[in-house]
A and B are shown apart, each in its own frame.
Chain A
Amino acid sequence: SYELTQPPSVSVSPGQTARITCSGDALPKQYAYWYQQKPGQAPVLVIYKDSERPSGIPERFSGSSSGTTVTLTISGVQAEDEADYYCQSADSSGTYEVFGGGTKLTVL
């Protein structure tokens, strides 16, 4: 079955830039979506269609795509950005969706 691979953890100091990657063979064909999840809460969409930002999401969140890897970048990380981040995409046929394993962002 199709899989998306994320690093388990990323750590950055406040004000620095955090980059979280997500790799999958079908990513050149399928859009990726990124969600932020804080403890005890439902996920929140922070990036859609690889690089678009929903209304209400701070400009410091951005997304990019290159080949089989998509990247969520958080510029000028703030303490409130500490959370789990998940990528989501579909397999090459577009039939099945899948989430990456998640990345825990720690703000030092």
Chain B
Amino acid sequence: QVQLVQSGAEVKKPGASVKVSCKASGYTFTSYDINWVRQATGQGLEWMGWMNPNSGNTGYAQKFQGRVTMTRNTSISTAYMELSSLRSEDTAVYYCARVAGIAVAGIDYWGQGTLVTVSS
């Protein structure tokens, strides 16, 4: 079965960086795009960007350009999202999510979420 397993919760100080991992299993990792989505407590979903695990091509939401980097290691079927220059407003649950094939194209599987807390 398809699974996306994310790394554990993180606590960071303002100005620091965080790198969240997302290990995929149950399907061919390079065949489906990965999106990253975050959600602050009690708030809505916020799309951060996408990555094509096959090519490594990425696209980032304008809000995060210059601060976010999405990468992958195909040998271990793992995607990464690194966010730098953290501020308190970045405190949120971060999800990796698989985009279904072209016939559907919505997000069909989500990771369990990683809580990132930014606090001095």
**C-alpha spacing A23/B100, complex, angstroms:** 24
**C-alpha spacing A45/B44, complex, angstroms:** 15
**C-alpha spacing A31/B107, complex, angstroms:** 13
**C-alpha spacing A100/B47, complex, angstroms:** 10
**C-alpha spacing A1/B95, complex, angstroms:** 22
Interface residues on A, range: 20 to 34
Q: Cβ of B105 and Cβ of A49 under 8 Å apart? A: yes
B52-90: CB near A (< 8 Å → 1, else 0) gives 000000010111000000000000000000000000000
A108 at interface by CB-CB < 8 Å: no
User: Which chain A residues have a beta carbon within 8 Å of chain B's beta carbons?
Assistant: 1, 31, 33, 35, 37, 42-43, 45, 48-49, 52, 54, 84, 86, 88, 95-102
Contacts of A54 in B (CB 8 A): 104, 106, 108
Most buried by B among A37, A45, A86, A102: A45
Output the nearest chain B residue to A34 by Cβ-Cβ distance: B106
Number of A-B contacts (CB under 8 A): 60
Question: Given contacts A1-B62, A42-B111, is CB(A98)–CB(B100) below 8 Å?
Answer: no
B30 at interface by CB-CB < 8 Å: no
Given contacts A45-B104, A88-B45, 19 further A-B contacts (CB under 8 A): A33-B107, A42-B110, A42-B112, A43-B45, A45-B107, A48-B105, A54-B104, A54-B106, A54-B108, A84-B44, A88-B47, A88-B106, A88-B107, A96-B62, A97-B35, A97-B50, A98-B47, A99-B44, A99-B47
Output the nearest chain A residue to B35 by Cβ-Cβ distance: A97
| Minimum C-beta distance from A42 to chain B (A) | 4
**What are 8 residue pairs bridging A and B, where the CB atoms are less than 8 Å apart in the complex?**
A33-B106, A42-B110, A42-B112, A43-B110, A45-B100, A54-B106, A84-B44, A86-B45
**C-alpha spacing A52/B104, complex, angstroms:** 8
Contacts of A84 in B (CB 8 A): 44
| Minimum C-beta distance from A97 to chain B (A) | 5
Question: Given contacts A43-B45, A54-B108, A101-B44, is CB(A48)–CB(B100) below 8 Å?
Answer: yes
